[in-house]
Structure 1
């Protein structure tokens, strides 16, 4: 488990109103105090969560896109960027950029 998430879980498992110190908890888990504080208060999110929110396609949709590309390749039809972009947009049900 991510040490920051473990520290947050420890903080949240305390009784309501029970005092704690971000510095003390951060030291125990070997993490930065300000990072722990911001993540616990919901000011920032983990990089993994942020990256996941920015993706247009989920894992299943990505696999569908790969099958589409492999199918084209097996039929000796070289997939163009436009073909891939159009299919990805159809899967995502929104416009997908070229990258």
Structure 2
């Protein structure tokens, strides 16, 4: 676990959030720690992971909502139906998986 990750875990368990103290203890930049804890920035690993995703969370929710509506109507969605709707959302055809 990296220093930032340890500092973030420390802040989650702390009763009072004190960025300066946590930064001193874990030897990290206070500003970076504050921004990461508040969700204003994200780590390199998280950025790389998110950039490899085909759909955003909002697009995924729209696809799931579409599938649920079909299921509620008694129409089981086929792979082709899901693929077609996903391509409409993405404005390009999705991959095999």
For these two proteins, the number of residue pairs brought into alignment is 64
RMSD over aligned Cα atoms: 2.8
Q: TM-score, normalised by structure 2?
A: 0.54
Partner residue, 2:62: 64
Structure 1 stretches of 4+ moved >4 Å: none
Q: TM-score, normalised by structure 1?
A: 0.53
Using CA pairs below 8 Å that are at least 6 residues apart, which structure has the higher relative contact order? 1
For 1:59 and 1:65, the matched residues in 2 are separated by 10
Q: Specify every segment of 5 or more residues in structure 1 that has no aligned partner in the other structure, as ranges.
A: 7-27, 31-44
The CA deviation at 1:63 is: 0.6
Q: Specify every segment of 5 or more residues in structure 2 that has no aligned partner in the other structure, as ranges.
A: 7-24, 28-42
Quick one: structure 1 residues 94 and 3, their matched pair in 2 at CA, closer, same or farther if it must change by over 3 Å?
farther
